[in-house]
Copies of this chain bind each other. A is one copy, B any other.
Amino acid sequence: MEYKSEEEFLKHYDPNQFERLSLTTDILLFSVADGVQENYRKLNKKYFSVLLIKRDTYPFKGKWCLPGGFIRMDETTDEASKRILKDETNLEDIYLEQLYTFSAVDRDPRMRVISTAYMSLVDKNCLHHNLVQNASWFHIHTLEDGDTIKVFLENGEEQLTFEVKKHLKEITTAHYEYEIVNNECLAFDHALTMVMGMERLKNKIEYTDIVFHMMPRYFTLGELQQVYEIILGKKLLDPAFRRMISNKVRKTDKMKTGGGHRPSALFEYIHQPK
């Protein structure tokens, strides 16, 4: 059929000539939580943490999943992720970035659903925010053994474990594909989302100032270093660390005392254009 104009074409267009599918967004919300203090002198141990929601409906009833939901016809994926984050965690105006679009054909047993995942970060004070029913923060502990990553999740009541295998897909960019090899706890393909998010954060912390979304307004350099060390999974040397962050922070006149050791200055983030 021949149309004389764009308008005429659009008037006759049948949106159902292609099979349609559903799009969801899942939100990987990370933070670094304070653990218990071992003794009065030591710093609080910190834990890399993720927010999960226990499913009380099918599919995957009883399993844990990332906050997520269907994208509406009148909103973008950015808007949907903001809305869902607010609905499911009561958190607003926090860091949110598009992570990856997952499209395995059988990733949802109900029907064909493609999901655009987002990564979100909050500081530890947001952990005490009013959570909705069934939501819970889990401490993350990972163990990398060759090309498999074991992830342990723990929220004080439950312990979850899953295992993901890395496959080098592209050598020049060191791009890995992940495969779930063991997963009794997380719904859908959220184990993959989580591993990809952790890798993304690990990379971005090195070449951006993203870490400050996980810090409160004022923090000590020791606390900041702890956060870097937890995300990177390795110890850093003090002088090198302080040199590295010296142009990202400003010393305030506030101090943190009461630690059983020399008080430390509180710093705040300043943005330094490259």
Q: Interface of A with B (CB < 8 Å)?
A: 3, 6, 9-10, 13, 15, 18-23, 58-61, 70-78, 95, 97-98, 100-101, 103-105, 109-112, 114, 116, 170-175, 204, 207-210, 212-213, 269, 271, 274
Contact = CB atoms under 8 A, between A and B. Distances in A.
A219 B241 CA distance: 40
Task: Among A3, A20, A78, A274, find the residue whose CB has the most chain B CB atoms closer than 10 A.
Answer: A20
A174 B211 CA distance: 13
A30 to B, nearest CB: 14
B274 A9 contact: no
A61 B6 contact: yes
15 contacts: A9-B59, A10-B109, A15-B22, A15-B111, A19-B73, A20-B21, A73-B112, A76-B103, A76-B105, A98-B100, A103-B116, A173-B208, A173-B210, A174-B208, A207-B207
A9 B95 CA distance: 36
A208 B78 contact: no
Contacts of A213: 172
Contacts of A13: 110-111
Contacts of A204: 173
Contact of A73 (B21, B75, B76): B21
B74 A103 contact: no
Contact of A6 (B58, B171, B174): B58
Given A6-B61, A9-B59, A172-B213, A20 B22 contact: yes
